[in-house]
Amino acid sequence: MNPGMICKTSVRVPLSIRRGFTLIELLVVIAIIALLVGILLPALKEARKAGQGLKSAANLSGLAKAHAGYANDFQDSFVNPFTYADSANWTEFLFAATAQKPDAQTWVLQVNGPANRRSEPFAFFYNMQLVNYLTQSNNVTWSEAVIIPGDTQCADRTKRLIQQVVNDEPALVDASYLYSPTFWTSPERYASDTFISLGTSWAGASRYLRRNRFDQVIFPSAKALHWERGDFLTPVRSGPAGKVRTSPSWLSPDGNPQVTFVDGSVSKVKMSELHQAAASTDANVRDIYRPAGGIWNFPTDVLPEQGGPADTIWENGLNGTRSYLQFFWATRNGIKGRDVLR
């Protein structure tokens, strides 16, 4: 053997005595994984919420564009179904005649509602007229783009309703995004703190029904056109005994709903600021931002699907009341008024 060479031998360690992970090492690994999950989950949740918010903003932008297209074809007017005919049941609304169906189609919306709320349920169903206009087909009356991501109540209800057919007509299908009655009634109805009742007859109501136009809006960047019925990205709201795990309605000071305005812009609105403005000691500010008609008190028996006990989004006041002012719904001075602090 060459004395300059070193002989190396290898020793095989029996499997039975090889060292594995100790319990402490396993616990450390599990703790690290749990820590990483704890860090990542909130980030993923926030990313998901951001994605839902972006999709809802895109929906609102699409509604604004659809409304602008409608106006382009109907002499610059806002969507309005209530000036076609003198009818005893004047709360019916019409779909326009189309190539597929040359005769205009009449659907009864609400006949027996309270006098001061006549025609207002259309705020939930205007989407059907817009979809009808866009598709030029009375058979297509719903689009996924009218549902807020996260509004599972409206989504589930819609899936059920679109399967129903009554008297050879599909059921009325509402939207997650609302549309103010100020767009089809005259500004004079909302001139004071108490809006004017439309009454039960066409003759009385027709004095205040209007085919309002875009060019009549004085503050297009501050007049809400469509908005989210609830802030579904906020999981809690105020209750009589503290916070409750229910998303706030658009009226709640806890909410920040997204809104598209007449000028086509889309942004979040911090409702707590509107509540402060409506309660201002400065009459000039208060009378601008305090809506006409007092508090939201839309009766649940008029819209059982939208306002029933299962749909808790409408229980928006403390102690189970609807105690919030009707922001966006009954803008002071109607289409000539302002909904946000701009």
Backbone angles phi and psi of 220, in degrees to 5: -60, -25
Q: Which helix (H) or strand (E) holds 287?
A: helix 283-289
The answer to whether 274 and 289 are in contact (CB under 8 A) is: yes
Q: Can you tell me the distance from the alpha carbon of 26 to that of 16, in angstroms, rounded to the nearest whole number?
A: 20
Strand partners, 244: 237
pTM score, two decimals?
0.80
- Rounded mean pLDDT for each run of 10 residues along the chain, 342 residues in total: 51 55 78 80 74 93 92 88 51 48 50 64 83 69 83 82 63 85 93 83 75 95 96 84 83 94 96 96 94 81 48 57 86 96 88
**pLDDT for 290:** 96
Residue 25, CA atoms < 13 Å, CB-side half-sphere: 4
**pLDDT for 326:** 92
Strand partners, 224: 261
**pLDDT for 336:** 96
